[in-house]
Amino acid sequence: MNVTCMTRQKKNIGIIICDRYHTCAGGKCLKALRNREGAFSIYKNHEVELVGYTTCGGCPGGNIEYCIEEMKKNGARIVHLATGMVVGYPPCPYIDHFNNFIKEKYDVDVIIGTHPVPQSYYNTHQALGTWSSHEWNEKLKHILTDEQTRLRYS
């Protein structure tokens, strides 16, 4: 029997957060990773190792050009653009550029989001109509959870 076929491949991931949250210790992201909630729910049946965690470097995201290379050296094949990039106000105006650049230059998968959207941010963006387009539905698909989960992340 081939043992390799029986083991599940470990997913090595990196996380990039918005620089306006540069002092964030990653509590919500790490909780969601541990509990496989939000965008990390896609790993329910996988072992995951976080191999990189950094900021974008501040607008317009200068660190994006370089940090992925370091993450790849550590084994990253998937990069998550943190939930803070879409829940902060205003949402990151460069997120689409980051997504496209990372995929093209570094040939890694990019997932928008980490932890579930906290209820307080959900309420604000609903009231402002920030996320009322098909484009935002696609960006939020992994992190816009049920109210009970959103409340646990507020």
Residue 4 has pLDDT above 90, yes or no: no
- The CATH number of 9-152 is 3.40.50
Q: For 21-61, how does the pLDDT look when each residue is reduced to its tens digit (9 = 90+)?
A: 999 999 999 999 999 999 999 999 999 999 999 999 999 99
Cα separation, 43 vs 88, in Å, equals 25
40 Cα distance to chain centroid: 8
- What pLDDT was estimated at residue 89? 92
User: Angle CA(24)–CA(82)–CA(72) in degrees, nearest 5?
Assistant: 100
Domain boundaries, the chain: 9-152
DSSP per-residue codes, 77-117: -EEEE-THHHHSSSPPTTHHHHHHHHHHHH--EEEE-SSPP
Q: For 113-147, how does the pLDDT look when each residue is reduced to its tens digit (9 = 90+)?
A: 999 999 999 999 999 999 999 999 999 999 999 99
